[in-house]
Amino acid sequence: MIVDDRVLREDFVPSEVVHRHDEVNLLSESLEPLLYGRRADPAFCFGPTGVGKTCIARYTLAQLREQEPAVEVAYVNCWQEYTRFRVLYSVLEAVGRTIDIHRSTPKDELFGRLRETDDRPIVVILDEVDQLEETAALYDLHRLGHVSLVLIANREEELFASFDDRVRSRLRAGTRVRFDRYGTDELTAILAERADKALEPGCISGEQLRTIADAASGDARVGIGILRSAARRATQQGRERVTDDVLEAAIPDARTAIRRKTVEGLIEHQRVLYDIVADVGEVEPGDLYDEYERRVDDPKTNRTLRNYLTKMVHYDLIEAVGERRGRTYRIIDDDAVGRE
């Protein structure tokens, strides 16, 4: 049934995009100076999870490189590469300049190595940029005249609140590309495009694709996950097409798989916070921070912990209940997905 599994992967970038033409055009316009040998101002992609921010950024840069192959693109996921060293190393790795660099290499030496790459323009996509634990890397990259930045985050206010003054002042200008949730018709069209390329003809109906889109609530990541889960289930059961009972089982199965994968991707201190919320069931911030400090040797600041919690809320791992003073956190999935 599945003829091209790549198309159903979360990180797949299609050759043509559906229903994001305005966003593509706006981001393309912001990067246009690169076609004339000039640096582009920073570009920001803001919006909730699963609305195509990463896909559109990578697609737009791929289109740019077709026009100007000299432009190098470095993609950095700041959820995993969240320190100055790891960001700079990731950019150097993308442009093939990591020879003789080790964990003990001074960060200023990495910056110096990156400064020497000025024989070509580089666009750095910083995904989940609000997960950076230190903004020095942003300051470094902005100082380099041959580096242009595309920054991806959920909310502008939260992102700029995490910046120090020198970074905030330098990045305040720039293009904002805002992404809304997909409508059911839009997400159905996206799923139809994926199904057409990934599956045998006729193995899933338009009505079933709409059912998936409804269940995904505007989140393409969830919708594609459900489609992938349904196709795999049908294949494992020897079906020639996706049946309604297979689809019904695939919907919660896909959500669980996505949540488990997200939990597994949490960094150490985020995972400690998640486990505490899962253990307690519902917890106030003060009690959560106290227990966190008991469980770790080198606790992060309260500001960093708030950032972690906000990100987990965005990814539907935990829920924030109530207003600031009376707020509590609780696990969305009662089964505490991903925990032993």
The pLDDT, as a whole number, for residue 99 is 86
In the chain, which stretches have pLDDT less than 50? 334-340
The pLDDT, as a whole number, for residue 296 is 95
Distances (CA, A) of 233 to 77, 167, 224, 249: 31, 48, 14, 9
CATH 1.10.8.60 in the chain, residues?
A: 184-261
Task: Give the CATH fold of the 184-261 domain.
Answer: Helicase, Ruva Protein; domain 3 (1.10.8)
The pLDDT, as a whole number, for residue 333 is 62
Query: CATH assignment of 20-178?
Result: 3.40.50.300
Q: What distance in Å separates the CA atoms of residue 62 and residue 55, rounded to the nearest whole number?
A: 10
CATH 1.10.10.10 in the chain, residues?
A: 265-336
The pLDDT, as a whole number, for residue 337 is 42
Selection from 337, 334, 327 nearest residue 283 by Cα: 327
Helix, strand, coil percentages (3-state) for the chain, rounded to 5, are 55, 10, 35
Measured on CA atoms in the order 15, 17, 21, 26, is the torsion positive or negative?
Answer: negative
**CB contact at 8 A, 37 and 205:** no
Q: Going by DSSP bridges, is the β-strand pair 282-283/328-331 parallel, antiparallel, or unpaired?
A: antiparallel
How would DSSP label each residue in 14-72? -SS-SS-HHHHHHHHHHHGGGGGT-PPPPEEEE--TTSSHHHHHHHHHHHHHHH-TT-E
Phi, psi of 251 (to 5 degrees): -65, -55
CATH 3.40.50.300 in the chain, residues?
A: 20-178
pLDDT 10s digits, 90-148: 999 999 998 888 888 999 999 999 999 999 999 999 999 988 888 899 999 999 999 99
| Placement of tokens 């969240």 in the chain | 82
Query: CATH assignment of 265-336?
Result: 1.10.10.10
**CB contact at 8 A, 5 and 194:** no
Q: What distance in Å separates the CA atoms of residue 119 and residue 290, rounded to the nearest whole number?
A: 50
Q: What distance in Å separates the CA atoms of residue 82 and residue 143, rounded to the nearest whole number?
A: 19
How would DSSP label each residue in 92-142? HHHTT--TT--TTS-HHHHHHHHHTTTTS-EEEEEETGGG-S-THHHHHHH
Phi, psi of 37 (to 5 degrees): 75, 15
